[in-house]
Amino acid sequence: MTVRTVLAAPAAAGRLVAGLLAAALALCLAAAGPVPLEGLAIVDVAVIDGTGAAPVLHRTVLVESGRIKAVTAADRPPPGRYRRVDGRGRTLIPGLWDMHVHALWDEAAPAAFFPRFVANGVTTVRDMGGNEAGERAAAEFAASRRAWSPVVFRSGRILDGPAPVDPSVSIAVSSPAEARAAVDRLADSGVHFIKVYTLLSRDAFLAAAARARERNLPVAGHLPTEVTIEDAAVAGMASIEHMQAEIGGYCPASDEAACGPIFSRLAAVGIAQTPTLIARYHRGHGAAHPEWSGEPEFALMPKIVRDYWRSALDAWVAAPPERALARLRDFEHEQRMAAWLAASDAVVLVGSDTGTPFAYPGRSLHEELELLVGAGMTPLEVISAATWGAARFMGAGERSGRIAPGYDADLVLLDADPSADIRATRRIRAVVRAGVLHDRAALNRVLAEGRP
C-alpha cells in the first residue's frame, strides 16, 4: 500500500504564486524577533528528510541565518563558528505542519497556543477560521516572539449559510453575489485560502469557488450539505476536512463498502483529505474521561478555551448512555473510513482540529499521527504528509518541509527513530524554529508555564 502524500498539489493550490509563502510568513517572519547569533551544526544525526525516504545515517546538518546551509557526511568537521549539537543516536525530521487548527478565533488564543505548537515540534499551521481580533493578537505575539511562533497560513472568516454555525468566525452568505463579495473581501485582506462550511448553498459554493480561482486562492473546508463530490471536483476544491464526519461520513456505517469508490474518486481528482481523527476520538471517549478537565495542561489554556471545553465535557458526561455509545460508534466508523482513505492512494493532510475540546496545541498532532498509522499508513508516510507533503500542498514545497540545502531551518531533533515507531515524534530533544535552537530545558519551561 502506498499513500500519495501530495506529490502533486491540487489544481487550485498549484496556482499559488511564489509570493504566497512570503505572505504566509508575514505573521511570523516579517517582524523583529530573536535572531541566531551563530550557525548550528547538528552532528552525526540520522536524517528523515520529509520526502518519504528512509532515514540516512551519520549526517551533519548545518544551519545559518535561518536556513539549512548544507547536509554533509558526519566525518566532515563543521566550521568552528558553528554551535555543535550532538545528534548521535538521534533522528532529525523537518518541523511538523498541523493542517487543521483553530488558533485565531479569539484574541487570547495565539499567545497560549503558539509557544505550545513550537514546543511540540509544530512549526507551521493552517488556521481554519479566525477573526480580526485573533489575527491582530497573532501578529502582535509573533512580532516579539518570532522563534516561538509557527508560520501561519490562514483562511480568515469562514463562508457559511445565512444562519452560520459559528457567527464569531463566519461570513453569512445568502446568494452567489454575496459569495463573490465575501471572497473578494477575504482576498483583499491577504488570506491564503478560502474556507467553506456546512450550510453554504450549492449556488453560493460554486460562485465562491469560481471567484477564488480568479483570485488565485484554493478552496478548503467542509463539503456543504447541498454540494456533491462531483460539484467539488468540478469546482477544483483543494481539500475536504473531517471526511464529512459532521454529517455522518462519506458512507454510512451500515454500508462501509460504499466508501471505497468515493475515496477512489477523490484520489483521482486530487482532492486532499484531512481526517482529524483525534478530535473525533475526544468526542467518542469524553464521557468515559471526566478527569480530562483536571489535567495540568488544561489550567494553562485561556479561560474562554477552558469554559468551552468544560462545557463540552459536561455535555458528554451528562448524555444518556445510548448517546455516549453512539458517539463511540461514530468514532469507530471514522477509523474505518480513514483506513479506506489510506488504502485508496488519496492525498492525505495531517490535522488535529486544535482548539476543539481537548485537542491541545501541538500535542494533539502527535496523537493524530499515531491514529493515522493505526489506520494503515506507515510512519514514513505520515511524517511525509505532515512535512513536505503539507508544504507542497500549500505551494511552499520549494522552501519548506524538507531537510535539504536552502530550506527553512524548522527542524525537530528526536531521541528515537519515528520510522520504526511513530510514537518517537513525541521524544523531542530540541526544536529549531527559523534557525533558533530551543533545547529541552526551554521546551520544558514553555510546557510547564505556558509562555516562553
Interatomic CA distance for residues 213 and 235, integer angstroms? 9
CA angle 172-213-110, nearest 5°? 55
Give the cell for residue 304: 474562554
Interatomic CA distance for residues 161 and 200, integer angstroms? 4
Beta bridge partners of 46: 91
Helices 363-374 and 277-285, packing angle to 10 deg: 90
Interatomic CA distance for residues 375 and 378, integer angstroms? 9
Q: What are phi and psi of 354, to 5 degrees?
A: -50, 140
Beta carbons of 388 and 397 less than 8 angstroms apart: yes
Instruction: Please tell me the predicted confidence (pLDDT) of residue 36.
Output: 45
Interatomic CA distance for residues 66 and 192, integer angstroms? 23
Interatomic CA distance for residues 428 and 443, integer angstroms? 9
- How many C-alpha atoms does 296 have within 13 Å on its Cβ side? 5
Interatomic CA distance for residues 387 and 95, integer angstroms? 7
Write out residues in the chain with pLDDT < 50, as ranges: 1-37
Interatomic CA distance for residues 29 and 143, integer angstroms? 8
Give the cell for residue 446: 514553555
Instruction: Please tell me the predicted confidence (pLDDT) of residue 257.
Output: 83
- Give just the sign of the alpha carbon dihedral 59, 394, 435, 426: negative
Closest CA to 224 of 207, 279, 46, 410: 207
Residue 112: which residues within 8 A CB-CB, separation 6 or more?
Answer: 300, 301, 302, 305, 361, 450
Q: Which residue has the cell 471567484?
A: 211
Interatomic CA distance for residues 217 and 389, integer angstroms? 18
Closest CA to 282 of 269, 272, 293: 293
Closest CA to 16 of 238, 266, 240, 195: 238
How many residues in total does the chain contain?
452
Beta carbons of 119 and 443 less than 8 angstroms apart: yes
Instruction: Please tell me the predicted confidence (pLDDT) of residue 32.
Output: 34
Beta carbons of 134 and 109 less than 8 angstroms apart: yes
Q: Which residue has the cell 510514537?
A: 423
Beta carbons of 95 and 350 less than 8 angstroms apart: no
Beta carbons of 175 and 163 less than 8 angstroms apart: no
Instruction: Please tell me the predicted confidence (pLDDT) of residue 81.
Output: 87
* Residue ranges of domains in the chain, CATH in brackets: 11-32+98-156+238-397 (3.20.20)
C-alpha dist (Å) from residue 382 to 176, 364, 430, 443: 38, 14, 21, 24
Beta bridge partners of 414: 91, 428
Beta bridge partners of 160: 172
Q: Which residue has the cell 509557544?
A: 115
Beta carbons of 414 and 62 less than 8 angstroms apart: no
